[in-house]
Structure 1
Amino acid sequence: MRTSAELQAQPGDLVSLRARIAGILEAQSTATGVAGAVIGVAVGAEQFALAHGLANLNTGQEFTTDTGWLLGSVTKVLTATALLRLVDAGAVDLDAPARRYLPDFALADTDAAETITVRMLINHTNGIDADDLMPCAVRGRDATRSYVARLRDFGCLFEPGTGLHYSNPGFVLAARIIEEQTGLPYEEAIRTELFDPCGMGDATAVQTEAFLRRTAIGARASDEPGTLRATSLFSLPESAAGAGATPIVTVADMMAFGRMHLAGGLAPTGRRVLSQELAAAMLTPTFDLGLPSAPPIGLGWWLDPIAGTTAAWHGGGSPGGASSFCILPEHDAVIVTFVSGPNALLNDTLHTTVIEHLTGQQASASFAEAPAHADSTMTGEYAAFHVDKSVSVRDGNLLVRTSVPFYDEELERILDAYGMPRSSSVTYVPVAPGLFAPEGADARTTAGFYGRLSLLADLPSVPGRPRGIHSGLRFVPKIS
């Protein structure tokens, strides 16, 4: 923990901040779960970037500040921005049913399919129960369409608009609307609607373009303790591109994108990407569960309170890697990081270090600890697509056993290569009424963006939404 004197460093002093970040990176190795990492920080007109380690364990290629990496679900903020350009143009109405623009969109729950609006697609309130769906049979122009076609077999976890459940399907549907309105496949539409006008000169959503440049490969733990191996899966399927499967970016690309949002939709290129009204709307809460583990959601952005300010943030996972991206409107700042290896929490360390430097305040736990106990009525079975959870109360704590049921060979192959465990058991201790943290976890970890996602909340039923548990931004209803 840093001293109060260190926390009161001058916000504009990026020289000392850069040195501190460099020290953090230099301490990383395969033993700490990091093959390589990169960070970019911009505050006003000042900025710096640092890289560490290897971008590719197979080749020994070093990570540099201009190395590209898979953006993962941070893409969702880009997809939301591109969709809102169509709203600006009058081609799309946020509060219209999504089916107005996608007549072929169907769910097993026909009423839900009729009521899900465009807004619900990009603020995670649609409730579609297809979180891990990753169709891979179709590539190219019809990939996104193939994903949407598969949704007809899935229902919803709650009545649309009554809950919050992280939604890959919502952003694939948003990408499909972009395709329909522009007449272009997603990888071309995101370039013409966003990359080009923002000045994101190295960004691409075409996987094969990775061969033409320096691009990072993710890393996973190997059988030998303290060592890592390169992932065997470069990216998730093209059908989920709009949710984050394929876009590749550099630090400079994300600095330009973040600068555009901080300037109210005006890109560093001088082009207006979004109206000030819609840029502000993206930063305005649209839904809030009131949970320390699930910050308010704007449009695309999660709005996290941290160290005395609000960060508009999104994280993203890719095979063997994790990225983190935020803007701090009160401090005119952009922060972006990527870590190759299983130590995703290094992203939090890097971001929190920068934010504390700018605000002069220490980031604290995302919850106020209070006497609490595990309610025995939480005992039972919980289930959503591709996840079963068995919850029991023991000695005042929760024991949560998670298993991943077989769906089909295609999905199992992808998620095995991605590194999703087939089963796990975690003991949670009560830290506040209705709120639980993994046993042995440091409460300070929950000050960070990824760290707070480890908390678990007991959500009571409300009209349109059954009782369930909420963790990792996902809702799993109680079924017995």
Structure 2
Amino acid sequence: MKRRLAEVLGESLAGGAVAGAVIGVAVGDERFTLARGSANLNTGQPFTEDTAWLLGSVGKILTTTLLLRLVERGSVDLDDPVRRHVPEFTLRDPAAADRITVRMLVNHTNGIDTDGLVPSAVRGRDAHRAYVEHLRDLDVLFEPGTCIHYSNPGFVLAGRIIEEQTGLPYEQAIRRELFEPCGMRDATAVQTQAFLRSTAVGAFFDMETMALRATSLFSVPESIGAAGGTPIVTVADMLAFGRMHLNAGLAPNGTRVLEADSVKAMLTPTFDLGIPQAPPVGLGWWLEPIAGTTAAFHGGTSPGGNSAFTLLPEYDAVITSFGTGPANILLQDRLHLAVIEEVTGRTVTPPFGGAPDRPAPGIAGEYGSFQSRVVVEVEADALRLTSHFEPYDDDHRATYEACGVPAGAAPPVTYRGLAPGLYAPEGMEASVFSGVIGRGALLTPLPATAGRPAGLHSGLRFTPRRAH
């Protein structure tokens, strides 16, 4: 297994679109770490086994774990209305806000229409509170609890509950309630701590030099810290966290972090759309059927970097990885698939089948959500999508531009049928969609149902059809 992973890392670095990466694997009592390439193109600092990195949205699993500790103490119930704990939370439709429960925050079914909100004006202990204030001007995409839409605001609200219940700002609460008891000795949610350790810096492709360059933005704003924006970890930290979950809540240092029932609840499906690009969701975890087993998975993005975290409970296995550069998402998938195949002894296959059908003419039209407008045209047996990024404000525009996402229209993409009701970008091999990450590129038009308008589902996001 280690040799196979070393070959994958070598091939990716030789391709010139990955600056560096690190992966840690633990199967039972056996573990190893591999690190290759540059962790900081500004300084030439190499990736090492103890290089730290920004966790990105994998931090949502940390926030969920911390929240479950409060549930165990009886101070929070998953079926509580969020407003019971965060009274300042409201939406443009206050009645919709009233119907959102704590559970809906951490299983991505709350429907709040603001996946990409990243306000940066307020830092420190009031950053999450300032984020929540923005929500009063926003809507829901569907009736809460009726669909899946990837939810940064859900986890920011979970962070606010944690802050209210512990009396601590998020970065202190997560240190006391999770990092310390779990034995995550190098983990921190304070961004300035990156200066005190070897920490990776993201990388982008520079069209002027035609080479990789270091990011100009180290991390996203603190306002989405509880959604994964601020935690910094090492391989050892994440292996300890993963072992705790696989050991029914008991950390490697012998500390009880969660009760076994809470660990089981996180790994139990709470909602399933029945489409491969949006696997069943537990509490925090995406529960992906793969290679004859279920992988508990989450990915994460930071400026110029990507992380991935997988548990294979049936095989007592943890996989954690991070890398930088534009080809890094594909690298994360290849690394995790390689381990999954080695551990299970099975070849991973695409999660779909059946002959594709011709797209219905009625799919054509305009779709939109918080920052996204999508124009869909039907062309014979294909869909042609033109996506527009429409910033919320200048702050939003600046953050996304620093992450390589300019405002305006992206080049059109043609999607062709793969299976009934399932489409994929033209030219992508079916094998790309076999992995824990790659399947997110698939697209499904969803009809209207009770509580949910017609829309498109791709990348874990629901984009509703706009009225003519």
TM-score (norm 1): 0.95
Alignment of 1:236-315 (within 5 A): 236-315=220-299
Mapped to 2, the partners of 1:231 and 1:450 lie a distance apart of 23
* Aligned equivalent of 1:137: 121
* Aligned equivalent of 1:419: 404
SS of alignment partner, residue 354 of structure 1: helix
Q: Which residue identity lines up with residue 459 of structure 1 in the other structure? A: L
* Aligned equivalent of 1:434: 421
Report the alpha carbon displacement of residue 396 of structure 1 after superposing the two structures with TM: 1.4
Mapped to 2, the partners of 1:162 and 1:373 lie a distance apart of 27
SS of alignment partner, residue 29 of structure 1: helix
Does residue 223 (structure 1) correspond to residue 207 (structure 2)? The answer is yes
Mapped to 2, the partners of 1:467 and 1:203 lie a distance apart of 42
CA RMSD of aligned residues (A): 1.0
Aligned with residue 219 of structure 2, among 224, 235, 241: 235
8 A contact 1:30–1:226 mirrored in 2: no
Deviations 1:120-170 (A, max 9, x none): 000000000011101100000101110011111111000000010000000
Mapped to 2, the partners of 1:27 and 1:435 lie a distance apart of 31
Alignment of 1:48-447 (within 5 A): 48-223=32-207, 227-343=211-327, 344-422=329-407, 423-424=409-410, 425-447=412-434
Report the alpha carbon displacement of residue 31 of structure 1 after superposing the two structures with TM: 3.5
Q: Which residue identity lines up with residue 416 of structure 1 in the other structure? A: E
* Aligned equivalent of 1:466: 453
Report the alpha carbon displacement of residue 407 of structure 1 after superposing the two structures with TM: 2.2
Report the alpha carbon displacement of residue 408 of structure 1 after superposing the two structures with TM: 0.9
Mapped to 2, the partners of 1:224 and 1:147 lie a distance apart of 36
Report the alpha carbon displacement of residue 79 of structure 1 after superposing the two structures with TM: 0.3
Mapped to 2, the partners of 1:252 and 1:354 lie a distance apart of 18
Report the alpha carbon displacement of residue 109 of structure 1 after superposing the two structures with TM: 1.5
Deviations 1:198-221 (A, max 9, x none): 000000000000000000000001
Mapped to 2, the partners of 1:421 and 1:285 lie a distance apart of 36
SS of alignment partner, residue 27 of structure 1: helix
Does residue 457 (structure 1) correspond to residue 457 (structure 2)? The answer is no
SS of alignment partner, residue 317 of structure 1: strand
Report the alpha carbon displacement of residue 321 of structure 1 after superposing the two structures with TM: 0.5
Report the alpha carbon displacement of residue 298 of structure 1 after superposing the two structures with TM: 0.1
Deviations 1:271-320 (A, max 9, x none): 11111111000000000000011100000000001111110000000000
Q: Which residue identity lines up with residue 365 of structure 1 in the other structure? A: P
SS of alignment partner, residue 389 of structure 1: strand
8 A contact 2:28–2:316 mirrored in 1: yes
Which deviates more, 424-433 or 78-87? 424-433
Identity percentage of aligned residues: 61
Mapped to 1, the partners of 2:31 and 2:232 lie a distance apart of 21
Q: Which residue identity lines up with residue 319 of structure 2 in the other structure? A: I
* Aligned equivalent of 1:478: 465
Deviations 1:44-72 (A, max 9, x none): 00000000000000000000010000000
Which deviates more, 257-266 or 365-374? 365-374
8 A contact 2:12–2:331 mirrored in 1: no
8 A contact 1:456–1:469 mirrored in 2: yes
Which deviates more, 217-226 or 438-447? 217-226
8 A contact 2:413–2:425 mirrored in 1: yes
Gaps in structure 1 of 5+ consecutive residues: 1-16
Report the alpha carbon displacement of residue 29 of structure 1 after superposing the two structures with TM: 2.2
8 A contact 1:30–1:227 mirrored in 2: no
Which deviates more, 195-204 or 221-230? 221-230
8 A contact 1:33–1:226 mirrored in 2: no
8 A contact 2:128–2:223 mirrored in 1: yes
SS of alignment partner, residue 15 of structure 2: helix
Deviations 1:92-116 (A, max 9, x none): 0000101110111111121110010
Q: Which residue identity lines up with residue 422 of structure 2 in the other structure? A: L
Q: Which residue identity lines up with residue 441 of structure 1 in the other structure? A: M
Mapped to 2, the partners of 1:19 and 1:290 lie a distance apart of 36
Deviations 1:13-70 (A, max 9, x none): xxxx111111211222273410000000000000000000000000000000100000
Gaps in structure 2 of 5+ consecutive residues: none
Report the alpha carbon displacement of residue 377 of structure 1 after superposing the two structures with TM: 0.6
8 A contact 1:32–1:226 mirrored in 2: no
8 A contact 1:30–1:228 mirrored in 2: no
TM-score (norm 2): 0.98
SS of alignment partner, residue 49 of structure 1: strand
Report the alpha carbon displacement of residue 406 of structure 1 after superposing the two structures with TM: 3.5
Does residue 46 (structure 1) correspond to residue 25 (structure 2)? The answer is no
Mapped to 2, the partners of 1:109 and 1:414 lie a distance apart of 28
Report the alpha carbon displacement of residue 225 of structure 1 after superposing the two structures with TM: 7.3
8 A contact 2:356–2:422 mirrored in 1: no
8 A contact 2:287–2:296 mirrored in 1: yes
Report the alpha carbon displacement of residue 229 of structure 1 after superposing the two structures with TM: 0.5
Report the alpha carbon displacement of residue 224 of structure 1 after superposing the two structures with TM: 5.2
Q: Which residue identity lines up with residue 76 of structure 1 in the other structure? A: K
8 A contact 2:358–2:380 mirrored in 1: no
